[in-house]
């Protein structure tokens, strides 16, 4: 969400008029270029010709269903990241969606904050920077090879899982990361815990990387999730 970044272009393929309009409006409000296709065929031709950063595809569409649309895009060599929206929220449906070539899967009903966070993480992938071996946010430094974490001159000791949590947050520095994204990507669980189990892990991590430092780096984004960011930028 830096000012210099070019405007993100996003295509929404969704047949339900009301939710489609809501998505287009919401994405435009956060400064995206958002286009809309209301069936599978139209979606395929738009996705094929347009230069989009992310496609948001409903699983069940008229004329051509979401999974087959993704399949033919991938067959043509189009690698645009795809987020699948589906009313079928179960584990095996998600696996089917990802196998068909989707990059992420979000069951309905979802919150826009969750969708936005996932779309931003996906589009960063589209830019495709080489996987760095060292992540830096402010004076916090994480070395992925030696598993060394330091803030300023202080060496920090993290548990393996805390390291992976911080690694994921820093990989997406400046982006909102939701609790479900953390549970999926750091722990590889796809269920919905009834408790604030992620918050407790975050607060432990926070006490290690932010405690005693003047400027906090790990921020809670209300109603959405967490973000690691150097406050000054």
Partner 1 sequence: MTAFGKLIRTTAFRLTLVYLFLFALFAASLLAYFAWNTRRLITEQITTTVNAEIGEITSIYDRRGLRGLLGTMGNRALRPGANLYLLTEPNGQALAGNVGSLAPGVMGIQGWAETAYRRLDDNDNTDHRALVRVTEMSNGFRLLVGRDLEERRRLFGIVAKAAQWSILVVVVLGIGGGIFVARRVLRRIDAMTGTTKRIMAGDLSGRLPVGRSGDELDRLAENLNAMLERIEALMVGLKEVSDNIAHDLKTPLTRLRNRAEEALARSGCEADYRAALERTIEESDGLIRTFNALLMIARAESGQARGNMDDFDAADVANGIHELYEPLAEDDDMTLRVKAAPAPIHGNRELISQALANLVENAIKYGKPNATLQPLNAAAREILIEARREGSQVLLSVTDHGPGIPEGDRKHAVERFVRLEASRTLPGSGLGLSLASAVATLHGGELRLGDSHPGLVATLALPARAGGSDRLAAQTQDVPQKAA
Binder of partner 1 out of 144, 204, 206, 219 (CB under 8 A)? 204
Binder of partner 1 out of 2, 155, 195, 212 (CB under 8 A)? 195
Q: Does 196 bind partner 1 (CB under 8 A)?
A: yes
Tokens of 37: 């296709």
Q: Select from 82, 80, 79, 77 the least CA-distant residue to 98.
A: 82
Binder of partner 1 out of 24, 39, 78, 187 (CB under 8 A)? 187
Q: Does 29 bind partner 1 (CB under 8 A)?
A: no
Q: Does 45 bind partner 1 (CB under 8 A)?
A: no
Q: Does 134 bind partner 1 (CB under 8 A)?
A: no
- Given a contact cutoff of 8 angstroms between Cβ atoms, the answer to whether 26 and 12 are in contact is no
Q: With contacts defined by CB under 8 A, name the span among 63-71, 91-99, 120-128, 209-217 that binds partner 1.
A: 91-99
Q: Does 125 bind partner 1 (CB under 8 A)?
A: no
Beta carbon nearer to partner 1, 30 or 197: 197
Beta carbon nearer to partner 1, 34 or 182: 182
Distance from first CA to last CA of the chain, Å, rounded? 11
Q: Select from 51, 181, 67 the least CA-distant residue to 121.
A: 181
Count CB atoms within 10 A of the CB of residue 183.
18
Beta carbon nearer to partner 1, 124 or 201: 201
Give me the torsion for CA of 97, 198, 133, 174, rounded to 10°.
90
Residues within the interface to partner 1 (CB under 8 A):
89-92, 95, 107, 109, 111, 161, 187, 189-197, 200-201, 204, 223
């Amino acid at each position: 969400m830096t000012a210099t970044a070019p405007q993100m272009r996003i295509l929404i393929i969704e047949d339900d008029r009301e939710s489609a309009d809501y998505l287009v409006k919401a994405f435009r409000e956060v400064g995206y270029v958002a286009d809309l296709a209301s069936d599978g065929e139209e979606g395929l031709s738009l996705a094929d010709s347009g230069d989009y950063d992310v496609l948001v595809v409903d699983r069940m569409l008229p004329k051509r269903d979401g999974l087959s649309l993704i399949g033919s895009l991938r067959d043509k060599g189009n690698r645009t990241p795809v987020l699948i929206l589906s009313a079928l929220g179960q584990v095996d449906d998600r696996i089917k969606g990802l196998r068909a070539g989707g990059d992420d899967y979000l069951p309905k009903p979802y919150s826009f904050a969750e969708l936005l966070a996932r779309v931003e993480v996906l589009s960063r992938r589209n830019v495709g920077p080489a996987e760095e071996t060292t992540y830096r946010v402010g004076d916090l430094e994480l070395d992925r090879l030696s598993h060394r974490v330091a803030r300023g001159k202080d060496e920090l000791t993290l548990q393996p899982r805390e390291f992976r949590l911080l690694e994921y947050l820093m990989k997406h520095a400046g982006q909102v990361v939701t609790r479900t994204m953390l549970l999926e990507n750091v722990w590889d669980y796809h269920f919905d815990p009834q408790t604030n189990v992620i918050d407790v892990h975050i607060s432990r991590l926070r006490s290690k990387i932010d405690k005693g430092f003047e400027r906090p780096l790990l921020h809670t984004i209300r109603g959405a999730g967490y973000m690691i960011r150097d406050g000054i930028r």
